[in-house]
Every structure is written in structure tokens, then in C-alpha cells.
Amino acid sequence: MDKRLRFMTDLIAPLRVPPGSEVKLKRDHDPGYTGQVTRPRATALLAEGVELLADYQARLAAQDTFGVLLVLQGIDAAGKDGTIKHVMSGVNPQAVEVRSFKQPSAEELDHDFLWRCQRALPGRGWIGIFNRSHYEEVLVVRVHPDLLAAERMPAISGDVWAQRYQEINDWEHYLVDNGIHVVKVMLNLSKREQAKRFLERIDHPDKNWKFSPSDVKERQYWDDYQRAFEAMLSLTRPA
């Protein structure tokens, strides 16, 4: 194994969610955790990681057998856009596609909830990035279950969320069986840090475009979102 890759693997090991574990965010994952890595060291590690990613992207494209899907999920202001900007800065943009999933369109609501994500999958040799993803269906929709009515689903006997977790697990395993490696990342954020980032969006003109009043409204549901994230991390399996 590449020494750089081994080091990166060891570095992220404490952040991984063991399969079958029951996650409690406050107990298990401190959003302020840094692994005792200083900011200057973090900057150097980011540069090394980007270089490593570029090397592996070249191999991915040359092999033309597998694709990679990076799923980024996190609450508002968690840093999804910034992660894409900085982490993916060194890859070849000709073989990377970023897709953002916002409120479903009328066309998307006329299909099953995985349809729009299936259409956005990367091809062989490509890296696809989902900025938000199919997990919105067990996060936003779970926190606001009235949104289910717009999907016009047939009646379900049993727990709709348990069914969706199973469908997500099955779909991701299907992707892996067909050569799409799924990398899932949840960006964990404290409520205090979220408020700080919202204020920065208001105070700095160059960040005003990122601020939406709906972001503040959603803070009322902070605890509900935390429980939804915990269920998501506990009930979905590694792909």
C-alpha cells in the first residue's frame, strides 16, 4: 500500500462508523475533533491528499472499469461546497461531475425517490460527487413528513423509513456490484458553529449569496435533524 494512503487511512479511522453500530452524535463524534492535527499540518496534509487523489484518478481513468461516487451529506453550513472546492481542486475536471440535489422538481416527483440519483451516476473511469443526495429522503423528508404527500406514493404497510433504509442499502450494493465505489461522508457540525457560519454569511458581502432565511427556519428542527442523522448512520450499511 502507498505509504501516503496508509497514513490517510489511519488518520480517518476514528471518524469511521463501524458497521452495525448505534450512533449517538453527541456521544460518539465530537464535531470539534481534529485528531490533534494543527492547522499548518492540516494544510500540508490536504495538499498531500489532493496529490494522492490526482494519482488515483489517473489510474481510475486508465482502467476504465470502475467509477467512484462521493456522497457528501451534512446540515446547512456544514461545508459541503468548501469540501468540494478544496479537496477536489487537484483532479482533472474533465472526468469529474458534481451534482447538487435540492427540492425535487415536478418531473422528479413523478418518479421513485432514487430516480434522479440514478440518472446522475458517474460512468466508468469517472468521479461523481453528490452535494446532498438520496439521503435527503431520510433526513429532510423524515423531519418534514408532510413532504411525502407530494411524492404520491402508494400506501405502505409498515415503517416507511425502515423500507427506505433497506432500499438505499440494496441500491448502493447494486452500484458496488456494477463497479461504482460509493464513498459516503457526513460533515458533522455543532449548533454553535452553524450559527457562527450563518452570521459570517450575513456579515460578509461576498458570502451573502449563501444565506437563505430558510436556513434559520430549519434551525428550529436541530434536534430532529440530529436524530435523523443518527438513524441514517446507524441503519445504512457500508456500500
Query: CB–CB of 9/2 below 8 Å?
Result: no
Q: Per residue in 50-83, pLDDT tens?
A: 888 999 999 999 999 999 999 999 999 999 999 9
Q: What CATH code is carried by the domain that includes residue 148? A: 3.40.50.300
**Helix %, strand %, coil % of the chain (to 5):** 60, 10, 30
Show the low-confidence residues of the chain (pLDDT under 50).
Answer: none
pLDDT recorded at residue 237 = 83
pLDDT recorded at residue 36 = 87
Mean pLDDT of all residues in the chain?
92
Q: Which domain range does residue 92 map to?
A: 3-235
Residue with cell 452500484: 175
111 DSSP assignment: S
Q: How many CB atoms lie within 10 A of CB 164?
A: 21
User: How many structural domains comprise the chain?
Assistant: 1
Q: How many CA atoms lie within 13 A of 181 on its CB side?
A: 11
Question: Residue 160 corresponds to which cell in the numbers above?
Answer: 416507511
pLDDT recorded at residue 1 = 54
Q: How many residues does the structure list for the chain?
A: 239
pLDDT recorded at residue 148 = 93
Q: Per residue in 106-126, pLDDT tens?
A: 999 999 999 999 999 999 999
Residue 181 region, left (φ>0) first, then alpha (ψ -120 to 50), else beta?
beta
pLDDT recorded at residue 176 = 97
Q: Where are the alpha helices (DSSP H) in 13-72?
A: 25-28, 39-63
